[in-house]
Structure 1
Amino acid sequence: MDVSKCMKTKLILAKPECDYKSLLCKIASPMPRQVYIVDDNRKLLGIVSAVDLLKEIMPSYMNADLARSITDGADFLKKQVEKTKDKKARDIMVTDVVSLRPHHQLLEADALIVEKGFNTLPVLDDQGRLLGEITRRDILLHLVNSCLQFEHDDIELIDLSKM
């Protein structure tokens, strides 16, 4: 089956001029894995992930012991975010992007995801325009739905805070 049959097409997009705080808000929206940085023609220029955003505010010398010693971590993080006020998506984004085409097969997508160590890959057309993304979860859901005829109603989420 082609990647185009399983890819997500509702994604978070931003322009290269998008500021750090806006990127932070975008990545905090429900279920985004990353923010895709695109031009006016939706050509993919780069990707910003939560890891990329955290790298910008966490000092390189920070380790778990030092973090434990900070008495007001929330205030520390707010100050670190303020230091990023001049950072833009173009300054943070990863530009060496591994991508797929819509005609690639799911097996190829999964192998590439494993090989490159990503959980999500963008799907681009031949001109480099963003069409969607595919995740390992998308591939697993397709497998479950097409091969196992599994009913999603059988799944029960357990709220551990109530136990």
Structure 2
Amino acid sequence: MKAVDIMTANPLTATKGETLWVAAERMSAHHYGGLPVVDETGVYLGVLEMDDLLPKPENIPGAPDVIALQLFDKWVDEHSIHDFVQIYKEKRVEEVMRTEVPVLKPGDPLRVVLDKLIENLYRRMPVVDEGGRLVGIITRGDLLMLLMGRK
């Protein structure tokens, strides 16, 4: 069994120049936790994860024992939460996408797929052709379906 046998072909994507708002709307509408990012020719560039769009706990400078939520170098509280709508509408996907996610090739055997997806703790992994164009995606859900005999 190879990556091409497991992957979802022609996955939903984000493009590097679109806003976070557009990408987040797409993720939300399809109940996806992330999207592969491509350029205008379909070449894979990275992944935008929902985690990249949500605040993270950070230590407040000068008060190392105090932790607050931060997103895009701004502190998040009930007074500032609405400011993020504008940030999402202005900031581009390419500014926050992850580029270090390893890729799979369509001919990679199942063992390679398992090693890369599970050992690296990624939720999804792009499958690209020899030209670097995105041809599919394999998620942890795809692996679960395979193990359940449904793929």
Q: Compute the TM-score of the two structures, normalised by the length of structure 2.
A: 0.77
Map 1:23-102; keep pairs closer than 5 Å: 23-55=23-55, 60-61=58-59, 73=78, 76-102=80-106
1:120 to 118, 124, 128: 124
Q: Are the equivalent residues in 2 in contact too, given 1:113–1:119 (CA < 8 A)?
A: yes
More strand by percentage: 2
Deviation at 1:87, TM superposition (A): 0.9
Q: Give the residue type in structure 1 aligned to 2:131.
A: Q
Q: Are the equivalent residues in 1 in contact too, given 2:19–2:91 (CA < 8 A)?
A: yes
- Please, what is the CA RMSD of the aligned residues? 2.7
Map 1:132-147; keep pairs closer than 5 Å: 132-145=136-149
Q: Are the equivalent residues in 1 in contact too, given 2:102–2:125 (CA < 8 A)?
A: yes
More helix by percentage: 1
Higher relative CO (CA 8 A, sep ≥ 6), structure 1 or 2? Answer: 2
Q: Compute the TM-score of the two structures, normalised by the length of structure 1.
A: 0.72
Which consecutive residues of structure 1, in runs of 5 or more, have no partner in the other structure?
A: 147-163
Which consecutive residues of structure 2, in runs of 5 or more, have no partner in the other structure?
A: 61-65, 70-76
Q: Percent identity?
A: 25
Q: Are the equivalent residues in 2 in contact too, given 1:12–1:34 (CA < 8 A)?
A: no
